[in-house]
Structure 1
């Protein structure tokens, strides 16, 4: 068949199993949007801003495991994607970004809305392409999808000049090429098994790679064989049942006492799909200094990058765990099991202070949300205190139910991600936001109203840039420079202005009724919650301190 370049793009997307794309039209992609007007089989969601389109495609990819697709025009359309591309790169999300470009005859002439998006995105993509000939278009799109999925997933960008989309070329459907998994090195397996056999106090640390590889079943069997504790990085939450009796909770700067003490007392750390970021290890010079480390990861570049590993296994996390599970003998419960069990019981017996009564306790609110949803909801978050409160208040039982910006820490991510997640799952999604983050993306209220996307946005409104202010309080002698807003905004009224149901919560006593109302409403909701500006996300590890030196402050 002979099609225009615009039609070839859409045919290739359909061929790759794409049913939903996110984007924003503009001059350099007009031919694509014109073709999309009558094209069957692909749903397009137009966001209010290209950055939200990138985050929406990201959220869609995370909850489905499919490649997310986002499209934007040249110049500012392309540059507005940069934060979303970087976020996907840092968190290993498979995505294909398609950007329009000025016609090939105008490239390099500082033409209207011309930007060297290839040069800009080299450091933040797995690969990027410019299509210079119509004959190369289909093969480049197919390569982009293959690269995005191969090995450690990540974003790929395709820049397409406008004249390529109007030219006519040959097209023939092909079956999508699936990446071949690398074989697992037997010597690496044997080395790890030897360390495990000698260990008396092992601990499993799970990371984002466990969610990406769908390894929940293998993790459960692995833990059952070792009878050891499991702690999680933020990105690993949900890949192991948070209610499991040997789950110690989140590790690191905002982690639990049980997790951090568990790391300190162990003689073997088995890191599964985790990269040992600074928020997890805090002080690399002291973290697990006298402890053996087995590092399991699909990306060899992560091994010994932040923490020296004693042994490692390179491969898909799920496949590696299957191999180890088949070789391991089941242990009996022992003193280490009992020690950890007591730690966890002590952690879970902690009573939550719900005071002060003249404002909302954010962790209490999120715990109530967990009760109402029975832990079955998908939670997206922005970045800051709201993100930490979400991890502390909600117990994640299932994989791919906690969606947040981990490596980049991008404020404004959660709302866009919730749009993509809700479209993918056709169900309400709860986005936990701070007022600072919500100011960055509240224009997307227009998107959820237009498409009637039933997202429930919980704004923890404390009138400050909470996490930055918290650090100023703890480490900068309370010099609150540019972190306090002069007045609190009524976000419920902003929601109503867009046509969204707005609900206001001022005290803990109002939480249950408000959540019931939000959940029962068949459409988007903004729940504006008054939070005291001095409420902190605790515990916290001081910068550069040992990971077990957690500060508990009132």
Structure 2
């Protein structure tokens, strides 16, 4: 016989769990004691939301379920945003929350919410552990569902009295499983349509961001020469320095990428998820689309593919490549001309000397400072579009960008999780001042854990992306300004090293110094978004229309 909390931890160890991120409460004390005696490392954070973001990013980077921990009531509600982040973003994560005793309780409804019900729309699975004997099966099922395509968030509630019970139940080993393969007739239909096309194009989405899929996609592109576009969450699946890379679908319309998609007569949409902003809009009688994914397409007014290839994506791409061979009649001249125009436009502003820093200079200098394997974790703001368009990802999962929930506050925790997974890689978090301050307290966690990472705070003293939208929609500038602390002193108060940028020319050497010096670094970087509208909207639409 063993205490139920010990069995929970044994089950976590059985699943290969390395870290539990979170903040325990009194309802978690049995579980906390069991963790103390285990091989699992508890990463104590300063906010449950940060713990959830870290667990989700761990899952995103490893493919294994990240685990977060919170108490009941307010601790559980603080996990909701992170749960939605993992659920929409396809990141395997388990949230464990505590609860008051469910068999006998003397505290009425104090702090008690229906947490299982609250988590229902945000998770693939949510369950209250009401019996110690059922713990192994419920935990195995939670991990199975969290990691099954499409990955996502799951939740278990462990009441205080159940955690203290005795049980003789044992962990259930994970089963050997293989994903189903696409049906042969679907492969042939896709191949026949590709062979009949004049100018096909590939669109690579988040679902293709798997190790084997990245490998076979590169083989297919090298073999056939078919040009490709990435969605924001598909960045880096194939090295974006590839001569057939046409660009990233960062904007909704009017970019060079959209001209390329309009010029193609067949789009092969690989691993795209409708949670991202659509990289293209289908119209009746327009360009045909082949949908290649783990799941069938969710049809809506702008997405209704004519052919669906459903099954393991890597195997489907391999089968298509094997059956396709090469094609001599394809004509990519227009697509590659659009690529050249896009490449020329992306180089503009890379050495702009104006200060505060212009976004093009920011992105170019970060790319120059970062090695191919370095990881950039982006918070959410207008700069995300600049990085999506201008920053070429050389490897998968080297640009951690959220184009699903698109929440602010995740940049710093995501960078911290990246450091734990890849302690040998340079890590940079890029945050707007608004997003940074939502979880800035985690600087203490990063310093306490002796992490090596650099945080770039893009300071414009307001919610810049909303201001851009506000201006574009003809509204007056109102309600989006705020004040900021002295970020250098703020960083130093946590034991980090603070740096104040004072010129555009000083940014690259300062960033290189931070990346080469152990510890947590914070760079206060004034940013100028005044030309966002001209460059990302008016001018870009005019120039791309001329290609």
Counterpart check, 1:344 vs 2:339:
yes
- Aligned partners of 2:306 and 2:543: how far apart in 1? 27
Residue of 290, 294, 298 corresponding to 1:302? 298
Residue equivalent to 1:430: 428
Count of aligned pairs = 541
Instruction: Note if contact 2:136-2:171 (Cα within 8 Å) is conserved in structure 1.
Output: no
Question: What is the correspondence of 1:108-119 to structure 2 with a 5 Å cutoff?
Answer: 111-119=109-117
Residue 346 (structure 1) shift: 2.2
Structure 1 position 506 matched with structure 2 position 502: yes
**Structure 2: how far apart are the matches of 1:274 and 1:130?**
33
Q: 1:43-72: CA deviations, max 9, x gaps? A: 111111000000001111111121111111
Structure 2 counterparts to residues 317-356 of structure 1, below 5 A: 317-332=313-328, 334=330, 336-350=331-345, 351-353=347-349, 354-355=351-352
Give the SS at the match of 1:457.
strand
User: Offset at 1:342?
Assistant: 2.3
Q: Secondary structure at 1:269's aligned position in 2?
A: strand
Q: Could you tell me which of 187, 202, 205 is aligned with 2:203?
A: 205
Q: Could you give the per-residue CA deviations for residues 257-299 of structure 1, whole angstroms, max 9, x where no partner exists?
A: 33111101110000000125573347x465x851110011112
> Does residue 236 of the first structure (1) align with residue 231 of the second (2)?
no
Q: Do the aligned residues in 1 keep the contact of 2:255 with 2:544 (CA within 8 Å)?
A: no
1:24-39 aligned within 5 A: 24-39=23-38
CA contact (8 A) 1:203 1:229 kept: yes
In the TM superposition, what whole-angstrom CA distance separates every residue of 1:97-154 from its partner, at most 9, and x where no partner exists? 1111111125898532212111111111111111111110111001111111123111
- Name the counterpart of 1:495: 491
Q: Secondary structure at the match of 1:54?
A: helix
Aligned residue number for residue 458 of structure 2: 460
Q: CA deviation at 1:376?
A: 2.2
**In the alignment, is the contact (CA less than 8 A) between 2:21 and 2:54 conserved in 1?**
yes
- Give the Cα–Cα distance (whole angstroms) in 2 for the partners of residues 278 and 446 of structure 1: 33
* Whole-angstrom distance in 1 between the partners of 2:165 and 2:252: 54
Conserved 8 A contact 1:271-1:294:
yes
Take 1:107 and 1:330, find their aligned partners in 2: how far apart are those partners?
70
Secondary structure in 2 aligned to 1:502? Answer: strand
**Cα separation, 1, equivalents of 2:176 and 2:364:** 41
Moved over 4 A (4+): 106-110, 303-306, 537-542, 547-552
SS in 1 for 2:98: strand
The answer on whether the counterparts of 1:23 and 1:72 sit within 8 Å (CA) in structure 2 is: yes
What is the CA-CA distance between 1:538 and the residue it aligns to? 7.2
After superposition, the C-alpha distances for 1:511-549 in whole angstroms (9 at most, x for unaligned) are: 12211221112011111101125252775469xxxx978
For residues 218 and 195 of structure 2, the distance between their equivalents in structure 1, rounded to whole angstroms, comes to 19
1:307-456 maps to which residues of 2 (within 5 A)? Answer: 307-332=303-328, 334=330, 336-350=331-345, 351-353=347-349, 354-355=351-352, 357-427=354-424, 428-456=426-454
Distance 2:533 2:25 in 1: 42
Q: What residue number does 1:55 align with?
A: 53
Rounded to whole Å, the distance in 2 between the matches of 1:296 and 1:81 is: 33
Distance 1:47 1:339, change over 3 A: same
Cα distance between partner residues in 2 of 1:105 and 1:75: 18
Distance 2:463 2:139 in 1: 41
**For 1:548 and 1:195, how far apart are their aligned partners in 2?**
31
Residues 1:398 and 1:281: Cα distance change in structure 2 (over 3 Å): closer
Q: Residue 137 of structure 1: which of 114, 135, 145 is its match?
A: 135
Q: Partners of 2:107 and 2:171 in 1: how far apart?
A: 36
Distance 1:525 1:254 in 2: 34
Root-mean-square deviation (Å): 2.4
**Distance across 2 between alignment mates of 1:548 and 1:312:** 32
Instruction: Note if contact 1:243-1:397 (Cα within 8 Å) is conserved in structure 2.
Output: yes
Q: How far is 1:214 from its partner?
A: 4.2
- Say if 2:57 and 2:91, in contact at 8 Å, map to a contact too: no
**TM-score, length basis structure 1:** 0.92
CA distance in 1: counterparts of 2:200 and 2:372, whole angstroms? 29
What residue number does 1:7 align with? Answer: 6
Identify the match of residue 182 of structure 2 among 166, 176, 184: 184
Gaps of 5+ in 2: none
SS at match of 1:456: strand
Distance in 1 between residues matched to 2:528 and 2:537, nearest whole Å: 22
